[in-house]
């Protein structure tokens, strides 16, 4: 049961030392409202990221299952070679478009600009969602420990916008083959690459060259991998990494997290939920997913 603590001491989420539950500022690290208005202990029991990992995993799995239910006659069971793995249990593209897939067609063709938020919670197959959620479990708690919950939510949201926004724009450049942008795109990898960008910046600011080098090496490996592996959206990854880096830079990673960061982060999460609802309501108004061509 989630219960608000109204007296006694709590552990400051920034420095890990004991502070009063009603202290306005931590005496050790300077964090404002270290007791999180009495909700700190309850949130801490949800995990190092205050439950955001579970929110992402639960939301992605739920939407993936809904997409499968919406496409009983269009579920792909694989193909030849790599397609047999990448396309296994893939929902019909119409179902994912209905739920909020992004890309040049939804954003510019149908005017569904909000899908740059909703697309990060959708996936195109069993292998796709498995690997993305594996990295969610690795990266979300790590970035929470470096930046705090509020800035984590902001970075994750901004990277989704920049990742899917960039690949939608690049599509109109009509670049050849794997260099092209995406007409339809989705997946948690865009905001995940934003987390990689945030960790890269943190390594730069702290002088941890090994950490920064590891993030760049992983980015380059995935970009090369994306050139030979069909279906990977390199531009969403690049946009997500750049967005996460720039957002983290604006949020001053070495400074204590502020109250307004948490408020803005929660607003980002609300905006994402509204984006998914907007996709569904807009799709229903157009007669989707059944009438989607």
pLDDT greater than 60 at residue 261:
yes
Check residue 288 and give its pLDDT: 82
Is the residue at 292 inside a domain? no
pLDDT greater than 60 at residue 45:
no
Is the residue at 242 inside a domain? yes
d(CA 281, CA 259): 33
- Binned at pLDDT 50, 70 and 90, residue 20 comes out as confident
**pLDDT tens per residue across span 83-119:** 556 668 899 999 999 999 999 999 999 999 999 999 9
pLDDT greater than 70 at residue 4:
no
Asked if 113 and 21 sit in the same domain, the reply is no
Check residue 37 and give its pLDDT: 54
- Mean predicted lDDT score pLDDT of the chain: 87
pLDDT greater than 70 at residue 80:
no
User: Closest Cα to residue 150, out of 271, 41, 259?
Assistant: 259
Instruction: Show the tokens assigned to 274.
Output: 């509204």
Asked if 161 and 86 sit in the same domain, the reply is yes
Contact present, 217 and 162 (Cβ < 8 Å): no
- The helix (H) or strand (E) run that includes residue 211 is helix 209-228
Question: Could you tell me where the DSSP H helices lie in 70-114?
Answer: 82-86, 93-99, 104
Coil vs helix vs strand at 292: coil
pLDDT greater than 80 at residue 50:
no
Residue whose token pair is 């970035």: 143
Asked if 150 and 253 sit in the same domain, the reply is yes
Asked if 39 and 116 sit in the same domain, the reply is no
Contact present, 113 and 169 (Cβ < 8 Å): no
Strand partners, 143: none
Asked if 269 and 178 sit in the same domain, the reply is yes
Asked if 21 and 57 sit in the same domain, the reply is no
Is the residue at 246 inside a domain? yes
pLDDT greater than 50 at residue 249:
yes
Asked if 23 and 154 sit in the same domain, the reply is no
Tally of domains in the chain:
2
Report, as an integer, the average pLDDT of 118-125: 96
Is the residue at 7 inside a domain? yes
Is the residue at 291 inside a domain? no
Contact present, 209 and 203 (Cβ < 8 Å): yes
Asked if 75 and 169 sit in the same domain, the reply is yes
Report, as an integer, the average pLDDT of 209-223: 92
Asked if 234 and 176 sit in the same domain, the reply is yes
Q: Angle CA(46)–CA(51)–CA(56) in degrees, nearest 5?
A: 150
**pLDDT tens per residue across span 129-187:** 999 999 999 999 999 989 999 999 999 999 999 999 999 999 999 998 889 999 999 99
Let me know if 23 is exposed, middle or buried by CB neighbors in 10 A (0-12, 13-18, 19+).
middle
Is the residue at 89 inside a domain? yes
Q: Of 9, 30, 45, at which residue does a domain stop?
A: 45
User: Closest Cα to residue 141, out of 53, 75, 58, 208?
Assistant: 53
Please give the residue range of the domain that contains residue 83. Answer: 50-285
Asked if 6 and 104 sit in the same domain, the reply is no
- Dihedral (CA of 29, 33, 37, 39) sign: negative
Q: Is the peptide bond before 289 cis (omega within 30 degrees of 0)?
A: yes
Least confident of 22-36, 53-67, 114-128, 245-259: 22-36
d(CA 160, CA 162): 6
Cβ neighbour number for residue 185 with a 10 Å cutoff: 30
d(CA 289, CA 282): 11
d(CA 113, CA 19): 44
Is the residue at 169 inside a domain? yes
User: Closest Cα to residue 151, out of 266, 272, 271, 275?
Assistant: 266
pLDDT greater than 60 at residue 44:
no
CATH number at residue 102: 1.20.1540.10
Asked if 25 and 71 sit in the same domain, the reply is no
Asked if 101 and 8 sit in the same domain, the reply is no
Instruction: Show the tokens assigned to 291.
Output: 């009438």
Coil vs helix vs strand at 76: strand
Is the residue at 252 inside a domain? yes
């Amino acid at each position: 049961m989630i219960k608000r603590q109204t007296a006694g001491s709590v552990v400051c989420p920034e420095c890990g030392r004991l502070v009063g539950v009603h202290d306005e500022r931590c005496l050790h690290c300077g964090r404002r409202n270290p007791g999180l208005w009495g909700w700190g202990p309850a949130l801490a029991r949800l995990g190092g990221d205050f439950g955001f990992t579970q929110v992402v995993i639960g939301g992605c799995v739920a939407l993936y299952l809904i997409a499968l239910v919406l496409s009983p006659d269009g579920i792909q069971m694989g193909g030849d070679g790599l397609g047999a793995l990448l396309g296994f249990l893939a929902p019909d593209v119409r179902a994912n478009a209905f739920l909020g897939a992004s890309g040049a067609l939804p954003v510019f063709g149908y005017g569904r600009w909000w899908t740059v938020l909703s697309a990060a919670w959708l996936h195109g197959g069993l292998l796709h969602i498995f690997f993305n959620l594996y990295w969610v479990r690795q990266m979300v708690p790590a970035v929470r420990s470096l930046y705090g919950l509020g800035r984590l939510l902001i970075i994750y949201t901004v990277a989704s916008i920049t990742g899917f926004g960039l690949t939608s724009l690049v599509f109109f450049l009509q670049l050849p083959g794997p260099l092209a942008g995406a007409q339809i795109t989705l997946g948690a990898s865009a905001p995940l690459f934003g987390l990689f960008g945030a960790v890269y910046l943190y390594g730069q600011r702290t002088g941890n060259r090994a950490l920064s080098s590891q993030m760049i090496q992983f980015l380059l490996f995935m970009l090369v991998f994306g050139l030979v592996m069909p279906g990977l959206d390199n531009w969403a990854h690049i946009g997500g990494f750049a967005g996460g880096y720039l957002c983290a830079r604006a949020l001053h990673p070495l400074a204590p997290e502020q109250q307004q960061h948490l408020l803005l982060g929660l607003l980002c999460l609300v905006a994402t939920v509204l984006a998914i609802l907007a996709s569904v309501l807009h799709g229903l108004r157009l007669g989707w997913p059944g009438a989607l061509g």
